[in-house]
């Protein structure tokens, strides 16, 4: 279902970043339009965001795009595979998005967009996102980038037939940026997984199937480093909630153990009503997935058909005991706040 492609519609930080518009296409028409609602899955990487993104992308009225934060470098720049299996520039859906947003991807300078993104989208810049008048030069760059994102998400919504966009980028800084994008109605799903499972997952060697020109692996990090990142990333989403962005707390383990119940709760939050589509593709222990047009994410974004649902807790057997205790010690206050037990099942 989700692989369908609708018909195409016609101061402060570094001063050296680009300040002019890297997109040469004609701007979108002025005038009032309905805001594009974005369900943004935020949290720390390896917390089940791709799984949740894929599930939500099967529901009529919701459109999964993966991690849009990587679109300029991995999609437009490197032409990596879309979740549908085609290279980004050859995917009919993303071609339609480029036409609507910028008059075609050839009107967009991918390299300069990556530079602009790097100059505005960092956790260190979050204070300037909240209080932009503190850094006028940064504010100008941020406004330029936010206007480009506004056109991008408008293009996604129109190319998908006016659907709610599901973005699983996870990054806290990107969520703060989206908060100020014109024409965006942002709703955040704060997804959390046991920190020990997250830390263990980042030690695994996982090949990137979207890279076809060479063999490339996802990065690996020491569990202690990931424990600190888990704490900081999740705390930033608590700060985001304080800025009055609607947020819903969801645990990965609950999604896997009670998928229909959790998805219904997310729909009540993000959509406000049940869609016309039933959730028959969700069963107690598995979901049935059609392809979606995702830009980036966990390799399981390419999987189609039945997918067994089970909590990935291999860290309990495979993770070194000392490392497990280290991660627990670094994260225990927030872990307990989220309802995780330091001993025994979560």
Our CA dihedral for 245, 254, 279, 9, rounded to 10 degrees, sits at 40
pLDDT in tens, 281-332: 999 899 999 999 999 988 999 999 999 999 999 999 999 999 999 999 999 9
Q: Which CATH superfamily is domain 36-337 in?
A: P-loop containing nucleotide triphosphate hydrolases (3.40.50.300)
Quote the crossing angle between the two packed helices 259-270 and 49-56, to the nearest 10°.
Answer: 70
pLDDT at 273: 65
pLDDT score of 60: 92
pLDDT of residue 211: 79
Integer angstrom CA distances of residue 232 from 121, 160, 289:
16, 34, 32
Q: Output the pLDDT for position 218.
A: 83
Cα within 13 Å of Cα(54), Cβ side? 29
Q: Which two tokens stand for residue 177?
A: 């940026």
**For the chain, domain boundaries:** 36-337
Give dist(CA 320, CA 315) in Å, integer: 8
- Stretches in the chain below the pLDDT threshold 70: 1-21, 24-32, 273-277, 344-346
Q: How far apart are CA 96 and CA 91, in angstroms?
A: 9
Separation between Cα atoms, residue 66 and residue 69, nearest integer Å: 9
DSSP codes of every residue in 118-177 = HHH-SGGGHHHHHSGGG-HHHHHHHHHHHHHHHHHHHHHHHHTTSPEEEEEEE-HHHHHH
Give Rg (Cα) of the chain.
Answer: 20
């Amino acid at each position: 279902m989700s692989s369908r492609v609708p018909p195409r519609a016609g101061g402060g930080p570094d001063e050296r970043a680009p300040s002019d518009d890297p997109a040469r296409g004609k701007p979108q028409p002025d005038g009032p339009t309905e805001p594009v609602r974005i369900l943004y899955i935020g949290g720390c990487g390896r917390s089940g965001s791709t799984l949740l993104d894929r599930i939500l992308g099967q529901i009529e009225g919701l459109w999964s795009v993966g991690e849009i934060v990587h679109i300029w470098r991995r999609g437009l720049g490197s032409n990596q595979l879309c979740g549908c299996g085609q290279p980004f520039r050859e995917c009919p859906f993303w071609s339609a998005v480029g036409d609507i947003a910028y008059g075609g991807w050839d009107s967009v300078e991918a390299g300069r967009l990556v530079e602009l993104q790097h100059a505005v989208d960092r956790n260190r810049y979050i204070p300037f996102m909240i209080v932009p008048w503190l850094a006028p030069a940064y504010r100008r760059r941020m406004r330029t980038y936010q206007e480009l994102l506004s056109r991008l998400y408008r293009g996604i919504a129109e190319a998908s037939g006016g659907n709610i966009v599901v973005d699983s980028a996870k990054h806290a800084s990107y969520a703060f940026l989206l908060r100020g994008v014109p024409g965006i109605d942002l709703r955040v799903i704060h997804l959390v997984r046991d920190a020990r499972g997250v830390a263990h997952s980042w030690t695994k060697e996982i090949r990137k199937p979207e890279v076809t020109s060479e063999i490339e692996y996802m990065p690996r990090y020491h569990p202690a480093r990931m424990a600190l990142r888990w704490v900081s990333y999740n705390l930033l989403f608590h700060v985001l909630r304080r800025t009055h962005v609607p947020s819903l707390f969801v645990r990965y383990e609950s999604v896997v153990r009670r998928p229909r119940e959790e998805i219904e709760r997310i729909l009540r939050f993000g959509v406000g009503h049940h869609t016309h589509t039933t959730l028959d593709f969700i069963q107690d222990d598995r979901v049935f997935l059609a392809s979606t047009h995702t830009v980036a994410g966990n390799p399981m974004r390419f999987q189609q058909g039945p997918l067994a649902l089970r909590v990935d807790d291999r860290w309990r057997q495979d993770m070194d005991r000392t490392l497990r205790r280290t991660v627990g010690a670094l994260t225990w206050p927030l872990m307990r706040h989220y309802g995780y037990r330091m001993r025994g099942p979560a």
